[in-house]
Structure 1
Amino acid sequence: MSTISREIDVFLGEGVNPIGILRFATNGRREHSSFVYSDFWLEHKASFAIDPALQLVQGPQFHTGGKGEWSSVFHGVISDTEPDGWGKRVMMRRHARQQRAQSNILAEPLNTLDFLLGVDDVARMGALRFRDENGHFCSTRAEDTGTAPPRVQLDQLIHSSQAIERDEETERDIQYLEGNGTTLGGMRPKSSIQDDEWGLCIGKFPSAGDTKSVTKAEILALKLAAMAGMDVAEGKVVRTEAGNDVAVIRRFDRDDAGRRKLYASAKTMLQVEDDDEHTYTELADVIKQYSPRASEDLCEMWKRMVFNILINNVDDHLRNHAFLYDGQRKWILSPGFDINPFPDKARELKLWVSEDHGPEALVQSAMDVAPLFGLRDRDAATAALVPIVKSLQKWREVGRSQDVGMTNAELGQYENAFEHAELEFASGLV
């Protein structure tokens, strides 16, 4: 295979000067990358390190990813803008169709930079932007469609997504999803969309293989968390003309004017590359080091841990927690997102409570570590627990509400996630 070397300008938000250069090289399966800050950025009075692993120094800073599922050849804050499962699936289908159309079975496979640059600039997560050697910001859209699709196209997006899941997609399906459907992480079908009320949003679609109302259940979880006083992404259920239920989630990495906010996953903030076990108490340490509102963020993180335990959200890995740059060389905890109940999965968290407690989803474990989150005694922890328990005790009522619209049958499918011994234990504490 041939050697490929490229240099990509990196911009921050709507800035007109690059803050650095991303260098990428590959020779077959071996890939390497480095990042070098520009002189402009190093000399700027408001400059800051865009990643804890990328110090404000001259010269290239190299990175070679590990071999785990979540590893990347790029530094963390850059890899946080990459697609994973679903987005890569769409890109690979597009690439395969192009190869077949050109009868080019010897064409190079997509490399990691191809995936990174295959994400559309308009909807890329966070504030980083990438400009290629020809001076073009990465875009997969036609020049006259410089925005995510409107809500009215949801049924077409769902049709195209499910066609890909069934291996039945057409060129039109790929065109609908490319860019829109590659922006965000996760395995389930989704797309960036423009909502009349909220602007740029994520539309999460029913999967072709769903046996439960996954989209409604995610909105239910967000509504319950908000009722408990937690800081979570705004979400709503949208029923399409064809009767599909879509979870529409407002993007929190954009402000009300649409300006971008720099985003870093908890994986990036911890500077880890592997898939080894990590803990909520490690995230507490990150908050103490970087947050200007550490007391508030620590309590919020503890509440999210407890909430995840009580709804059996066992997909709480490091990429499902994040931080936003606050503009003052600090990082604040982002709103909670990707909070989903899993009624059919074992009660074991991806993110352990602590090294001592392991993965088992137990409220008592959360109570044990509460002092590490600023809740200095049992009374303080209990006070933080009360609104969560009261909210979850109303899960059926909220699920039936007009905002969520779950039927009794749909609620019954999620009973095991909300009604169990741990909620009884927590109720006994308050």
Structure 2
Amino acid sequence: MVGKKYDTAKVSIFGKDVGALAEDTTTGIVSFEYFDEWLKTGFAISQKLPLEAGTFSFPTLNYPTYKGLPAAFADTLPDDFGNAVINAWLARQGRDPRSFSALERLLYTGSRGMGALEYTPALADTNKKQDESIKLDSLVAMAQLVLDERNNLDETITNEQAAEQALTGILQVGTSAGGARAKAVIAVNSDRTQIRSGQVNAPKGYEHFLLKFDGVVERSSTSEVFGDPKGFGLMEYAYYLMAKKAGIDISYCELLKENGRAHFMTKRFDRVGNEKVHYQSLCAMDHADFKQPGAYSYEELFTLLRSLRLDRLSALEVFRRMAFNVIARNHDDHTKNWGFVINSANKWELAPAFDLAYSYKPGSPWVDSHQMSINGKRDNFTKQDLLGVVPLSLQGEAEAILHEVHAAVATWREIAEGVGVEPAFLDEIESNHRLNLL
């Protein structure tokens, strides 16, 4: 029923109804209200949506980021690559993608989004054939096609049956993951010989992973981050190993190799088997707009930790990740790359680290300097700038962590050579590490 316009949706989690969304079609602003039963038995699904009666709406939030939605639900929206795939699907249904609202994109996502929030009525029957194996090389080709021709994808495939098969394949895996890069949400078996869609329950013997396509880039675009050049997967895997060595809590990762490419895979922390885990990004939890570089600080993140009543170990973990981002030059440390999960006691915890990779390009409006500031700075930090974000009672432990992270980043060459990072790329990264911080 994609031809029909929808302006309301029901929100559910863990099989229980939470509340309702309603769009003001004049302004495009979407409001949310908890159901009475959830108010009696549930929990606040986000920091900005306290468990209380009444209607929540946030018309002052930056529309390009939050699309008129309360931030908790904007988190579920697909980002650039997922939207490109959805737009191709809409074109085949005869619907102008520009008329497909943010609320309708939530309904398209249905129960397949990252985290645990689900939306009904679902607008797309993409569960068909999701129990079948998928060929990785064909997904890579289709992902590249989406990036090459995302404004007129449907016109690039002249064979109708081939178009339908190709689009069905990428719809099965490529619409629910966030971020700008081309990704697939997959389930993979233990010996890594079979891949299925990860947007539905995985069969026995399969695990849920997020796969980033290696060597898939938007060649015709001026975009700096839409897609990953070939070899990026090897670099990110080396960074994963380096982060582990630095003591960072990060989900298990590995490489999936195919036709000379090395695709980076990370195990999903929002799935435990087929059970869903509720997740909210920092962008949602603190209304910290990830599209405004430098508008949010690490100091504000530490303030949020205190308001969530997270313990000193969580604060030290955030400090460890901050130190790694600084020393290892991950300037892409924006608020969508930090997040929180609800535990079994309905309490918030810091989510495992993700998207820890080399990200620095002089002159770039996005990654010339850090996305989040430290002591009012986005570059040219001193050791005291970093130590100053934690209270005096933690500074001794924080300084020890700085040395641990520094020692781990100093092993970059050894790790990267072992993984097979291309020598020129390895050298570039090494030359830009901030090892002189200590």
Report the TM-score range of the alignment, normalised by the length of the smaller protein.
0.7 to 0.9
- In the alignment, what sits opposite 1:203? 211
Is the 1:309–1:361 Cα contact (8 Å) retained in structure 2?
no
Q: How does 1:200-279 map to 2 (within 5 A)?
A: 200-206=208-214, 207-208=216-217, 209=219, 211-240=229-258, 242-255=259-272, 257-273=273-289, 275=292, 277-279=295-297
Any conservation in 2 of the 1:90–1:182 contact (CA below 8 Å)?
A: yes
Residues 392 and 59 of structure 1: is their aligned pair in 2 closer, same or farther, counting only changes over 3 Å? same
Cα distance in 2 for residues equivalent to 1:305 and 1:382: 13
For residue 154 of structure 1, what is the aligned residue in structure 2?
136
CA distance, structure 1, for counterparts of residue 115 and residue 287 of structure 2:
18
Question: What pairs with 1:186-201 in structure 2 (closer than 5 Å)?
Answer: 186-197=179-190, 199-201=207-209
Shift of 1:211: 4.7
1:31 pairs, out of 28, 31, 44, with 28
- The answer on whether the counterparts of 1:341 and 1:414 sit within 8 Å (CA) in structure 2 is no
- Counterpart residue identity of residue 10, structure 2: D
Structure 1 residues 329-338 or 313-322, which shifts more?
329-338
Aligned with 2:119 (options 130, 139, 147): 130
- Cα distance in 1 for residues equivalent to 2:129 and 2:93: 23
The CA deviation string for residues 380-428 of structure 1, in whole angstroms up to 9 with x for no partner, is 3331122212221221222233xxx324xx14214333334721x24xx
1:327–1:290: structure 2 CA closer, same or farther, 3 Å change rule? Answer: farther
Q: Give SS of 1:18's match.
A: strand
Equivalents in 2 of 1:284, 1:7: separation in Å? 36
Q: Is the 8 A contact 1:222 1:233 kept in 2?
A: no
Aligned: 1:330 with 2:343: no
* Structure 1 partner of 2:225: none
Q: Summarize the Cα distance change of 1:421–1:234 in structure 2 as closer, same or farther, 3 Å threshold.
A: closer
Could you tell me which residue of structure 1 aligns to residue 38 of structure 2? 41
CA-to-aligned-CA distance 1:325-383 (integer Å, 9 cap, x gap): 1233431111111112025346510111133xx21152525434253485234xx3331
- The 1:286/1:69 distance shift into structure 2, 3 A limit, reads same
Partner amino acid, structure 2, of 1:116: L
> Which residue number in structure 1 is paired with residue 314 of structure 2?
297
Greater alpha carbon shift after TM alignment, 18-27 vs 182-191:
18-27
Q: Are the structure 2 counterparts of residues 302 and 68 from structure 1 closer, same or farther at C-alpha, using a change threshold of 3 Å?
A: farther
d(CA) in 1 for partners of 2:392, 2:212? 32
- 1:190 deviates by 0.8
- In structure 2, distance between residues paired with 1:301 and 1:399: 25
Q: Distance in 2 between matches of 1:3 and 1:94?
A: 15
Q: Which residue matches 2:420?
A: 406
* Among candidates 398, 419, 431, match of residue 419 of structure 1: 431
- TM-score, structure 2 normalization: 0.82
**1:65 shift after superposition:** 5.7
Q: CA deviation at 1:265?
A: 0.7
Return the match for 2:147 from 122, 144, 165.
Answer: 165
In the alignment, which of 354, 359, 370 is matched to residue 378 of structure 2? 359
Distance change (3 Å), C-alpha of 1:219 and 1:277: same
The CA distance in 1 between the partners of 2:21 and 2:35, in whole Å, is 11
Kindly indicate whether the alpha-carbon contact (under 8 Å) linking 1:5 and 1:25 is maintained by their aligned counterparts in 2.
no
Question: Is 1:348 the counterpart of 2:369 in the alignment?
Answer: yes
Rounded Cα–Cα distance in structure 2 between residues aligned with 1:224 and 1:343 = 17
Q: Which runs of 5+ in 2 are unaligned?
A: 150-155, 158-162, 191-205, 220-227
Q: Among residues 345, 352, 356, which one is paired with 1:339 in the alignment?
A: 356
Say yes or no: does 1:55 pair with 2:50: yes
Matches of 1:5 and 1:121, distance apart in 2: 17
Residues 279, 108 of structure 1: alpha-carbon distance in 2 compared, 3 angstrom cutoff: closer
